[in-house]
Amino acid sequence: MSRPRIGLTLDVAGDGRRYLLKREYADAVLEAGGVPVPLVYPRPGEAVELLALVDGLVVTGGAFDVPPELYGQARRPACGPSKPERTEAELALLREALAARLPLLGVCGGMQLLAVACGGTLWQDLPTDLGGRALGHEQPPPRDLPTHEVRIEPGTLLARLVGEEPLRVNSTHHQAVRDPGRGAAVSGRAADGVVEAIELPAHPFALGVQWHPEAVRVHEPRSQRVYAGLVEASRGRR
């Protein structure tokens, strides 16, 4: 039986001439039994054709912010730089994947974009928006070490994948999901209440996690089960 093909969204180098992908994403998919397939940025109308090549989708993270204009807010000084071309491409892929009920995983900024695609909103900057209530969510290097726990909601997809015990995760973000959007539910939170995981219960497999399971899995193997779950759900598409 052929292995499920998992599409991975890409970053672009500063000069705009090279696509980039951190190796951890591909390695996590391979370890889970899938075949990683890099997805270039689709031009208008091409997202459906690109997704026809794969059985599941990972919207990867990166060092940039989702433009607040996409969720009905004005940009504030604490909001970081954006990458409009990448966000437009990933949003097109996300929306088509949701419409096609394609198994999908949003990682870090990918989770935030999933919420926005569902009509949700974000905290533009946790230190500014939550002040002293927020834990340190931007850890210094090394970025793969777990630094705080996620409390997992019982009975959720996330709980079925990794168990209901608190999960130690890494943390590399200053924005977070405020409202997960229509049809989305919160399935994990940090001790300070910040949303760490969302999912769409009516979808076959649509999960977003705020941490980077492909990086922290070396130290906390339970996080690899997130990728294993995606690959297994995608297997049914073959």
The domain segmentation of the chain, as residue ranges, is 5-235
- As a whole-number percent, the residues of the chain with pLDDT over 90 amount to 95
List, for residues 20-44, the tens digit of each pLDDT value.
999 999 999 999 999 999 999 999 9
Q: Which of 79, 196, 212, 232 does the annotation list as catalytic?
A: 212
- The lowest-confidence range among 99-113, 131-145, 214-228 is 131-145
What integer best gives the mean pLDDT of the chain? 96
Q: Which of 90, 196, 214, 220 does the annotation list as catalytic?
A: 214
Superfamily of domain 5-235 in the CATH hierarchy? Class I glutamine amidotransferase (GATase) domain (3.40.50.880)
pLDDT at 135: 77
Place of tokens 């001790």: 191
pLDDT above 80 (res 236): no
Is 169 within 8 Å of 215 (Cβ atoms)?
no
Place of tokens 């850890």: 139
The pLDDT confidence band at residue 1, using thresholds 50, 70 and 90, is low
List, for residues 3-19, the tens digit of each pLDDT value.
999 999 999 999 999 99
List, for residues 77-98, the tens digit of each pLDDT value.
999 999 999 999 999 999 999 9
Place of tokens 């491409």: 89
What would the 3-class secondary structure string for 199-223 be?
ECCCCCCEEEECCCHHHHCCCCHHH
Is residue 85 annotated as part of the catalytic site, yes or no? no
Is residue 214 annotated as part of the catalytic site, yes or no? yes
Q: Which of 79, 90, 108, 203 does the annotation list as catalytic?
A: 108
**121: amino acid identity, one letter:** T
List, for residues 157-194, the tens digit of each pLDDT value.
999 999 999 999 999 999 999 999 999 999 999 999 99
pLDDT above 80 (res 50): yes
**Exposure string for 203-215, b = 16+ CB within 10 A, e = fewer:** bebbbbbbbbbbb
Is residue 79 annotated as part of the catalytic site, yes or no? no
pLDDT above 80 (res 57): yes
pLDDT at 238: 66
Show the DSSP H helices in the chain as ranges: 23-31, 47-51, 84-100, 109-117, 126-130, 157-162, 213-216, 224-235
Place of tokens 């940090």: 190
Is 114 within 8 Å of 93 (Cβ atoms)?
no
Q: Tell me the CA distances in angstroms from 219 to 142, 156, 161, one per residue in order.
A: 12, 24, 17
List, for residues 109-124, the tens digit of each pLDDT value.
999 999 999 999 999 9
pLDDT at 137: 92
pLDDT at 136: 79
pLDDT above 70 (res 149): yes
